[in-house]
């Protein structure tokens, strides 16, 4: 095997040849502009390296303390929280699609608290009437003509019939207004 000897260049001439490259000269110029920052960085890394044993020990102690701490009862773990977030993310799209309907509903008369109060009152009456029908005798569950006639004399029944007739009359006026509106005739 034949070894070809390379001419040995002087280190100063090698450095001069590299400084002739504009990119190397620009990089060296930027390095010299930030020499003070480099000195601070080197000092900081030196301090970190000197104190690495103490820092590592403190981190190990902290992790051991965290592992020893038990999760308080009732708090969900991270996997459960992630699952809840994914479910909420899946619900956002349909909820956004429903916003115009919800807004229309809230701007309508259905958002009036009086409507909610009347609906709650009717709901209580329906439940009470249903329970009375379930527990009442056969005669009370299937009243005849005379039982209905006696019910018309009952003050509560007459009050409810008056309410129902008032609602029927108001609904008739609403229906008449809809029939007479220009959009209903199209």
Tens digit of each residue's pLDDT (9 = 90 or more) over 112-144: 788 888 889 989 998 988 888 888 777 777 778
| In a shared domain, residues 96 and 171 | yes
pLDDT of 86 = 81
Average pLDDT over residues 138-155: 82
Whether the CB-CB separation of 14 and 21 falls below 8 Å is answered with: no
Give the tens place of pLDDT for each residue, 64-98.
887 777 666 666 677 777 888 888 877 777 878 88
State which residues form the domain around 161.
92-180
Written as six digits, the tokens of 8 are 């040995």
Note the residue count of the chain.
186
Instruction: Choose the final residue of a domain: 68, 84, 103.
Output: 68
Domain-embedded: residue 140:
yes
Q: Token pair 């009862």 is at which residue? A: 73
**Structure-block tokens of residue 157:** 């029944």
Residues with Cβ within 8 Å of 48's Cβ and at least 6 positions away in sequence, in order, are 55
Do residues 42 and 106 share a domain? no
pTM of the model: 0.40
Q: What is the mean pLDDT of residues 49-58?
A: 83
Identify whether residues 176 and 114 lie together within a single domain: yes
- Name the more confident of 58 and 5: 58
Q: Would 116 be classed as within a structural domain?
A: yes
What total number of domains does the chain contain?
2
pLDDT confidence bin for 162, thresholds 50/70/90: very high
Same domain, 64 and 140: no
How far is residue 95's CA from residue 89's CA, in Å, rounded to a whole number? 10
Q: Do residues 64 and 108 both lie within one domain?
A: no
Q: Which residues of 157-166 are buried (b: 16+ CB within 10 A; e: fewer)?
A: eeeeeeeeee
Residue with tokens 């701490």, as numbered in its chain: 69
Give the whole-angstrom CA distance, residue 179 versus residue 127: 35
Q: How high is the pLDDT of residue 169?
A: 93
């Amino acid at each position: 095997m034949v070894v070809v000897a390379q001419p040995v260049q002087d280190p100063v001439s090698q450095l001069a040849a590299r400084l002739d490259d504009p990119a190397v000269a620009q990089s060296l110029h930027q390095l010299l502009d930030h020499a003070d920052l480099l000195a601070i960085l080197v000092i900081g890394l030196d301090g970190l390296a000197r104190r690495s044993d103490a820092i590592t020990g403190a981190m190990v102690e902290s992790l051991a303390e965290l592992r020893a701490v038990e999760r308080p009862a009732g708090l969900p773990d991270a996997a459960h929280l992630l699952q809840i977030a994914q479910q909420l993310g899946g619900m956002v799209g349909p909820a956004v699609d429903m916003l115009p309907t919800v807004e229309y509903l809230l701007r309508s008369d259905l958002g009036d608290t009086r409507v909610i109060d009347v609906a709650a009152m009717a709901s209580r009456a329906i439940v009470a009437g249903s329970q009375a029908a379930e527990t009442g005798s056969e005669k009370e569950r299937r009243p005849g003509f005379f039982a209905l006639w006696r019910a018309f004399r009952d003050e509560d029944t007459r009050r409810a019939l008056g309410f129902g007739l008032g609602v029927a009359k108001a609904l008739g006026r609403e229906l008449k207004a809809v029939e007479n509106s220009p959009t209903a005739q199209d």
